[in-house]
């Protein structure tokens, strides 16, 4: 990932979200019980360290939903999306079969014969590594932002967004305010079954979760290589195209957080949810907002960021009494809603990107 020598623009957020009776991420079935995903968490206690197994929601679940939103926004903006991503099938251009099945066309001029005795000596020939990444991202915004690994040609594009597991906050774990419980349900099983009914259990979880998400805005549409890695210089996408794609990526983030439509079992286990607080930063250096494990995460974020940068901004929404910095060398702005915080941060990120790209 390149950022030295260029104007970096990044956006990062952390949110504390109260979810009650959620079944957003299920792991496996044991008998007639469908279990909620769990993850081990280490907490500090007065007696030392303790391991707890707590309800969790995987980063892949959030990433899938974000990319669905991104594909929908990109189509509305008139940006290219491959056939697979348009359907919510994110195969990540794994090999040439995936490229063909998803409708990504490799120009004949970029193909070259493989070396004798290798799998690349087929009629189709190999593909120049220096051009493959650009060809793929030109034809799909989701592959651009979400990254891919093409194993046939050993070409890797690192994802421009990062998201992790949603875990219960540490302060809620210390207070014991986390729970899971299997709930009994009855399904009609047909007259041939005894009594015509089938019993099953779905395990639900309730917790104050922490969500983290960050996006490298300035490297959307920019090639992962240094342009000379493969011995041939290749230019990134044009500035107006990069700006439009960044705009789509930020709008998709707003839609993700605004709709809260991610995870499984929404039809009968749609959870009660409430955003208790959110912190989002727009930065000129690679940075991650401090995880919302404690109500001090706004304070910790500002303390860290002002050491690294004097040209960054932090927006936040608070309905639970966060610890706030008394004085800061960077701008710290409170908003009336969590969506307003994300929208203002997105506007700031796009303004900085437009200035960096010298767009009017």
Assigned domain for 332 exists: yes
Assigned domain for 221 exists: yes
Domain that holds residue 126: 10-27+55-166+208-356
Could you write out the three-class secondary structure of the chain? Answer: CCCCCCCCCEEEEEEEEEEEEECCCEEEEECCEEEECEEEEEEEECCEEEEEEEECECHHHHHHHHHHHHHHHHHHCCCCCCHHHHCCCCCCCCCHHHHHHCCCCCCHHHEECCCCCCHHHCCCCEECHHHHHHHHHHHCHHHHHHCEEECCCCEEECCCEEECCEEECHHHHHCCCCEEEEEEEEEECCCCCHHHEEEEEEEEEEEEEEEEEEEEHHHCCCCCCCCCCCCCCCCCCCHHHHHHHHHHHHHHHHHHHHHCCCCCCCCCCCCEEEEEEEEEEEECCCCCCCCCCCCCHHHHHHHHHHHHCCCCEEEEEECCCCCCCCCCCCEEEECCCHHHHHHHHHHHHHHHHHHHCCCC
Q: What is the pLDDT of residue 228?
A: 46
Assigned domain for 202 exists: no
Assigned domain for 64 exists: yes
pLDDT tens sequence across 276-329: 999 999 999 999 999 999 999 999 999 999 999 999 999 999 999 999 998 899
Residues of the chain above pLDDT 70, percent: 88
pLDDT tens sequence across 70-113: 999 999 999 999 999 999 999 988 888 889 999 998 887 766 55
Assigned domain for 108 exists: yes
The average confidence (pLDDT) of the chain is 89
Question: What pTM does this model have?
Answer: 0.91
Assigned domain for 215 exists: yes
Assigned domain for 1 exists: no
pLDDT tens sequence across 261-270: 999 999 999 9
Assigned domain for 49 exists: no
Q: What is the pLDDT of residue 225?
A: 62
Tell me how many domains the chain contains: 1
């Amino acid at each position: 990932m390149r950022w030295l020598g260029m104007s970096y623009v990044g956006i990062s957020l952390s949110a504390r979200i109260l979810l009650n009776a959620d079944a957003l991420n299920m792991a496996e079935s044991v008998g007639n019980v469908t279990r909620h995903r769990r993850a081990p968490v280490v907490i500090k206690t007065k007696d030392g360290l303790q391991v707890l197994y707590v309800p969790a929601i995987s980063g892949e679940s959030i990433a899938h939903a974000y990319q669905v939103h991104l594909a929908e926004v990109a189509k509305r903006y008139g940006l290219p999306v491959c056939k697979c991503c348009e359907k919510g099938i994110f195969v990540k251009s794994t090999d040439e079969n995936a490229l063909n099945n998803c409708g990504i066309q490799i120009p004949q001029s970029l193909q070259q014969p493989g070396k004798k005795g290798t799998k690349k000596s087929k009629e189709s020939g190999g593909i120049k590594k220096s051009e493959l990444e650009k060809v793929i991202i030109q034809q799909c915004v989701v592959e651009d932002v979400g990254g891919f690994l093409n194993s046939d040609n050993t070409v890797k594009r690192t994802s421009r967004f990062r998201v992790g597991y949603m875990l219960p906050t540490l302060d809620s774990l210390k207070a014991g305010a986390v729970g899971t419980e299997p709930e009994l349900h009855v399904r009609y099983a047909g007259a041939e079954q005894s009594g015509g009914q089938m019993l099953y259990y779905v395990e639900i979880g309730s917790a104050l979760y922490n969500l983290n998400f960050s996006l490298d805005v300035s490297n959307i549409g920019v090639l992962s290589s240094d342009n000379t890695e493969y011995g041939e210089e290749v230019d990134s996408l044009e500035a107006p195209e990069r700006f439009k794609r960044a705009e789509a990526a930020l709008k998709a983030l707003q839609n993700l957080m605004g709709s809260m439509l991610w995870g499984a079992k929404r039809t009968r286990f749609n959870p009660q949810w409430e955003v208790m607080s959110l912190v989002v930063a727009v930065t000129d250096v690679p940075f991650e907002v401090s995880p919302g494990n404690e109500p001090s995460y706004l304070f910790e974020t500002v303390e860290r960021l002002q050491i690294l940068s004097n040209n960054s901004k932090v927006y936040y929404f608070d309905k639970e009494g966060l610890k706030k910095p008394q004085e800061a060398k960077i701008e710290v702005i409170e908003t009336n809603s969590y969506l307003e915080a994300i929208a203002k941060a997105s506007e700031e990120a796009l303004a900085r990107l437009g200035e960096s790209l010298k767009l009017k």
